Amino acid sequence: MGEVIPFKRPTVAEKHKGKTLCQSGFHKWKILKEKQFDVKQGKLITVYQCIRCAKIKTAAL
């Protein structure tokens, strides 16, 4: 007789793997206090960093 292999359904985590919030554009931004002045532009800027993926974006005031 052959071996019986149990059928395993993928879990929800396995099913949606790779479809994280940051990849869909839903970042969780936090303001960095270290960099507030851009020397090249000579302007005050706000630097944001995503808590989950560490992506950085800037906004001029």
End-to-end CA distance of the chain: 74
Q: Where are the domains of the chain?
A: 27-61
**pLDDT tens readout for residues 5-41:** 888 888 877 777 656 788 888 888 999 988 788 778 7
In 3D space, the residue among 45, 49, 44 whose CA is nearest the CA of residue 32 turns out to be 49
| Cα(36)–Cα(58) distance, integer angstroms | 10
